[in-house]
Structure 1
Amino acid sequence: MELSCKSEYAILALLELATHYQNGEPLQIRQIAAQQNIPDRYLEQLLATMRRGGLVKSQRGSKGGYYLAREPWKITIFEVLTCIEGLDVRTSEEKPQQPTSADRAVLKEVWQEARQVANSILQKYTLAEVCEKRDSRKRLDVMYYI
């Protein structure tokens, strides 16, 4: 299991929006893109997907931009991945049934168990918690360079 570039960019954009959630003002695409080093046009597509998925809202006008649709402590990483990847992360697309050997059956069971554990962790973490972890790491990094 790997985090796709698309999902990583989406999470980074949402973390930027979560960081500015308290001030209540929307962020423009170019601000988010500059802060997180994401290509503008790609970010625009991701934000449109997340808007349709109910994760962000947009505001038009000169002071327009994007903001979180809900509080950062109510949006899980699992929700973001599900929205961005366009499928339910819990289930994989089943391949046509092949004759099942004991080896294949056991391997499938192990893979399903691993996916369940990964999904439970992704459901546990919210944007707010990831922001807190990031801030803690930044404080530690500053301490090492003094």
Structure 2
Amino acid sequence: MELTPTTVADRLQEVGPVKLSAKAEYACLAVIALAHRHEGGRPVPIREIAEAHEIPETFLTQILIRLKGAGLVVSTRGSSGGYRLARDPMTISMGDVLRVIDGEGFQERPQRRSSFNALAELWERIQASQVNILDGTTVANLAALDRSPDWTI
């Protein structure tokens, strides 16, 4: 197959953006919500996060239990209970969160047959860039951007 700018563009379209499961997206929203309230040190009730982000409460509970098992969040029982981040949001990357929810599989893409090794290498570099961005973006970074009215990524 002859490579033209059009075929390269078509192949890049196949790679596409990072695709998150609903569970992974909800986990990201939850840890960002917890980062907003980290300085106060008080737990955030599940219901508050669920309502603010339109996440089914039972689904959010399952997600937070998983994050707790990984040591990213802690819970407090009782009427004033809820969840809070287990450590400083500057030390928790989005890659950490996604690995807990989706395992290492979040960074894997199905291999496409390509007779052109340069394309295969390009796909690997794109994938590595996505992982680097996720690992280099902390929960605190996103929480700060979320507070800004004019942020763009």
| TM-score category (smaller protein) | 0.7 to 0.9
The change in CA–CA distance for 1:17 and 1:106 in structure 2 (over 3 A counts) is same
Distance 1:93 1:2, change over 3 A: closer
**TM superposition shift of 1:71:** 0.6
Q: Find out whether 1:132 has 2:149 as its counterpart.
A: no
Distance 2:122 2:25 in 1: 26
Aligned-pair CA distance for 1:129 = 0.8
Cα distance between partner residues in 2 of 1:102 and 1:115: 19
Structure 1 gap ranges (5+)? 142-146
Displacement of 1:86? 2.3
Unaligned runs of 5+ in 2: 1-17
Instruction: Tell me whether 1:10 sits opposite 2:23 in the alignment.
Output: no
Deviation (angstroms), 1:61: 2.0
Per-residue deviation at 1:101? 6.1
CA distance in 1, matches of 2:96, 2:114: 35
2:134 paired residue number: 122
TM-score normalised by L of structure 1: 0.81
Aligned-residue identity in percent: 37
Task: Provide, for residues 78-130 of structure 1, a one-character-per-residue CA deviation record: whole Å limited to 9, x for no partner.
Answer: 1111111123544x3887xxxx7633x44432221111111111111111111
Alignment of 1:44-55 (within 5 A): 44-55=61-72
Partners of 1:101 and 1:17 in 2: how far apart? Answer: 43
Alpha carbons of structure 1 residues 40 and 94: separation in structure 2 relative to 1, 3 Å:
same
Which residue of the partner structure matches residue 59 of structure 2?
Answer: 42
Verify the 8 A CA contact 2:114 2:120 in the aligned structure 1.
Answer: no
Question: 2:124: which partner in 1?
Answer: 112
How far apart are the structure 2 equivalents of 1:34 and 1:101? 46
Paired AA for residue 122 in structure 1:
L
TM-score by length of 2: 0.78
- The aligned amino acid for 2:115 is A
Letter in 1 for 2:131: N
Closer/same/farther in 2, CA of residues 45 and 106 from structure 1, 3 Å limit: same
Contact 2:74 2:84 in 1 (8 A): yes
Q: Distance in 2 between matches of 1:55 and 1:81?
A: 11
Q: Which residue of 2 aligns with 1:144?
A: none
